[in-house]
Amino acid sequence: MRVSRSRRALLTSVASFAGLTAGCFESRLTGSDETPAPSGPVDPSTYDCTDVSRPVPGDPSDDDAPDPLEYPSRPDSLSADASQYVTEFERAYRRNELLERYGNQARSFEFSLTARQATDVETDRDRDAVLVAVVYDVTTGTAHAERDEWDVRTTYYADNHVLLRAVYDGIADGPAFKPDPRREGTPVDCFE
């Protein structure tokens, strides 16, 4: 029986396409193209303290604009106080970010923590390290508009040398260490 030309062409195309894409989907399904999540503390050679980046606005000249917040000092014990430290740091970061961006046009800022989670990172005895995830709602206002953000998740890695920050791009379904700030975070503070 003779196969029609169009059917033969279709079968050839499908077979070629299947052969070309066979390996592409496998890495997506197995995750083999992803770098494994880091474990343990961050090597100090992976960041540069001169690259610390965080909003530091000047004092507003308009009485209606909120004042900037000072960033908190690193606690003596990260294991005991990291959650509170990171929450205060994130509140200051977001408020200062609003003021740096909008200056005298900024009018209001409300930060409401909804959940947080912390876990110690296994290290040697001379080092203290922790991962913290905070989930919060924030309302910011300018002279022209008000904006609400719900279920924002920010993750932090803190140790004796650095504070790294990473932001989840989406609506958080609770505190989790994704993105992992050890791999995707940027330095927002350095110590010692």
Give residue-wise pLDDT tens across range 101-147: 999 999 999 999 999 999 999 987 778 899 999 999 999 999 999 99
* pTM attached to this predicted model: 0.80
The tokens of 60 are what?
Answer: 């507003």
- pLDDT, tens digit (0-9, with 9 covering 90-100), for 51-63: 999 999 998 888 8
Average pLDDT over residues 24-40: 49
The length of the chain in residues reads 192
